[in-house]
Chains A and B, each alone.
Chain A
Amino acid sequence: MTNNSNNSQVCYQCGTCIAICPVRRVVKFSPRVAIYDSNIYDTDTDVWDCLTCGQCVTACPQGVRLLDFFLDQRIGGEPRDIVHKGVFTELADLMTQLGNSKTTLLKGDDTAGIGYFPGCVDFHDMFFDLDMDFGEIATSSVTLLSKAGLSPKIMQLKCCGHDQLWQGNQEMFDKLKEENTRLINESGIDTLVVSCAECYRTFLMDYDLDCEVKHISQVLADADLGITNGSATAAIHDACRLGRHTGEYDAPRKAIAATGANIVEMQHTKENALCCGVSSMMNCNDHTKALRVLRMDEAKRTGADVLITSCPKCLAHLNCLKEEEDSEHGHDYPFEVLDLTVYLARKLGGGNGGDGGDGDE
């Protein structure tokens, strides 16, 4: 199956993508060879090693849409190395079959024209062994939206299907897409706000929605939250789904800068930002852990107090490394890794630090 935007035939095999590919730093993997093999021999060499971070797309002189190429190659294939024993895939599968399944227990303003979807953060709380509260992302987002005067309706959607799509499971993705599109259309909202970069990419680019889709950072960048006590030095990790996939680099920076924080840029930033090492719940292994170490070391070198990202997956993986390194190897990272919304909401509440908001249950 090939979608129209896959233009891998125009690749002239220069190898620029190999030079920039972060995976190439740790595994013998080559986007160039993957394209060559698929066009010449019709094989799907290596496509599961790709982290779909999109650095090659920004570097390619021919404008090859490598992300669409990798997606095409994956559809219908057998994914390799799905993390957490595939529990999130099972959950998504159950959601397609259970009409009244939910992703959150939060309650909002049901008459609002703006809808907020927290994504699967509550499930992250349940199935990641981390000492952090993902549910706080959802509660913080609602607090911030209310503060901005946009009391949202909480959308009870199914999983957006991002991971299933990139794991090559088109069938399950189509089911989720159909169900979610129906739910969104029925709800009558005109703007869908999401706090997860992966949800944002999926709703914006892979769904055909009538309503506007916004990442929460885009809403908060234009809102006046009245936070002035954010004197921290903040480094920003651009999530690939929000940055290179959808082109939004400035909104998170603007939202953070409005609080009075000093933003420092890491060595690789914006369109050159390094990958957190895991996407679509695949390839969490020793190789990609090396990429996380590279990223965290860059953040450490900036001297920032806090590393801010806008994707729960980046957050989970960077924090996973931080917890492990802090406790076992004494190789400490003297900064917090926080989600954008959590950072802002804690400042809003007077910077209470600690584990803040009381959760998701």
Chain B
Amino acid sequence: MVVFEPKIVMFCCNWCSYAGADLVGVGRLQYPTNTRVIRVMCSSRIQPTFILQALKDGADGVLVTGCHIGDCHYIDGNVYTEERMKNVVDAMKLLGLEGRVHLEWVSASEGPKFRETVTEFVEQIRALGLSPLRAE
């Protein structure tokens, strides 16, 4: 049987998570290749619309990462992100796409955490299966 390989859109902020991804690469840590990383300058750049659009265009899951609260390069951008993502996750429950959107803080020094986050999320989406928006 062919294992389902989910397509995941991952947003990384330029200052922490993207550097974290670089650290994983430099450290040669292995992690699943299901993610398509999109670099943004700050996680607060990510509008709820982006996530809905990604799901509509066939992503099975959307993973949003950013700096830890207090570490934001733009002082408090990620505070807005946290609020917005909480709402998007709530909206997903109503839309019947529960568990397909996740927010995680990953700093530039947390290579292993980056790997764990991606691995866990990929497994979570694999268990959920194909997005109902792709099945049609």
The minimal Cβ–Cβ distance linking B67 to chain A, given in whole angstroms, is 22
Q: How far is the CA of A41 from the CA of B51 in the complex (A)?
A: 41
Q: A98 near B87 (CB under 8 angstroms)?
A: no
A91's contact among B90, B91, B133, B136, by CB below 8 Å, is which?
B91
Q: A90 near B52 (CB under 8 angstroms)?
A: yes
Q: A93 near B94 (CB under 8 angstroms)?
A: no
B97 within 8 A of A: yes
Given known contacts A90-B52, A90-B56, A126-B88, A102 and B96 CB-to-CB distance under 8 angstroms: yes
Q: B133 near A127 (CB under 8 angstroms)?
A: no
Q: B91 near A123 (CB under 8 angstroms)?
A: yes
Q: A98 near B48 (CB under 8 angstroms)?
A: no
The minimal Cβ–Cβ distance linking B35 to chain A, given in whole angstroms, is 22
Q: Which residues of A contact B55 (CB under 8 A)?
A: 94
Q: Residues of A within 8 Å of B, CB-based: how many?
A: 23
Q: How far is the CA of A91 from the CA of B93 in the complex (A)?
A: 12
Contacts across chains A and B counted by CB atoms under 8 Å: 58
Q: B53 near A105 (CB under 8 angstroms)?
A: no
Q: B47 near A85 (CB under 8 angstroms)?
A: yes
Q: B91 near A85 (CB under 8 angstroms)?
A: no
Interface string of A96-135 (1 = CB under 8 A from B): 0111111111000000000000000011011100000000
Residue in B closest to A90 when the chains form the complex, CB atoms:
B52
Contact residues, B23-50 vs A (CB, 8 A): 47-49
Main secondary structure of the interface of B (DSSP, over half): helix
Q: How far is the CA of A145 from the CA of B47 in the complex (A)?
A: 37
The minimal Cβ–Cβ distance linking B91 to chain A, given in whole angstroms, is 5
Q: How far is the CA of A90 from the CA of B93 in the complex (A)?
A: 16
Given known contacts A97-B133, A98-B133, A126-B87, A87 and B94 CB-to-CB distance under 8 angstroms: no
B70 within 8 A of A: no
B48's contact among A87, A103, A105, by CB below 8 Å, is which?
A87
A226 within 8 A of B: no
Q: A105 near B133 (CB under 8 angstroms)?
A: no
Residue in A closest to B132 when the chains form the complex, CB atoms:
A98
Residue in B closest to A156 when the chains form the complex, CB atoms:
B94
Q: Which residues of A contact B53 (CB under 8 A)?
A: 90
Q: Residues of B within 8 Å of A, CB-based: how many?
A: 19
Q: B90 near A126 (CB under 8 angstroms)?
A: yes
Q: Which residues of B contact A102 (CB under 8 A)?
A: 94-96
Q: Which residues of B contact A97 (CB under 8 A)?
A: 56, 132-133, 136
Given known contacts A91-B91, A126-B91, A98 and B96 CB-to-CB distance under 8 angstroms: yes
Given known contacts A87-B49, A87-B52, A127-B48, A94 and B90 CB-to-CB distance under 8 angstroms: no
Q: Which residues of B contact A186 (CB under 8 A)?
A: none
Q: How far is the CA of A102 from the CA of B53 in the complex (A)?
A: 19
A103's contact among B52, B94, B132, by CB below 8 Å, is which?
B94
Q: How far is the CA of A87 from the CA of B48 in the complex (A)?
A: 7
The minimal Cβ–Cβ distance linking A130 to chain B, given in whole angstroms, is 12
Q: A94 near B87 (CB under 8 angstroms)?
A: no
Residue in A closest to B55 when the chains form the complex, CB atoms:
A94
The minimal Cβ–Cβ distance linking B52 to chain A, given in whole angstroms, is 4
Q: A93 near B56 (CB under 8 angstroms)?
A: yes
Q: Which residues of A contact B93 (CB under 8 A)?
A: 105
The minimal Cβ–Cβ distance linking B136 to chain A, given in whole angstroms, is 7
A95 within 8 A of B: yes
Q: Which residues of A contact B96 (CB under 8 A)?
A: 98-102
A86 within 8 A of B: yes
Q: Which residues of B contact A361 (CB under 8 A)?
A: 90
Q: Which of B55, B87, B95, B132 has the most CB of A within 10 A?
A: B95
- Can you report 19 A-B residue pairs in the complex whose CB atoms are below 8 A from each other? A85-B47, A85-B48, A85-B49, A87-B52, A90-B52, A94-B55, A97-B133, A98-B96, A98-B97, A98-B132, A102-B94, A104-B94, A105-B94, A123-B91, A123-B94, A126-B87, A126-B90, A127-B48, A127-B91
Since A101-B94, A122-B90 are in contact, a sample of 16 more A-B pairs with Cβ atoms closer than 8 Å, ordered by chain A residue number, is A85-B48, A85-B49, A87-B47, A87-B48, A87-B49, A90-B49, A90-B53, A94-B56, A94-B95, A97-B136, A98-B132, A99-B132, A100-B96, A103-B94, A122-B94, A125-B87
Residues of B within 8 A of A (CB): 47-49, 52-53, 55-56, 87-88, 90-91, 93-97, 132-133, 136
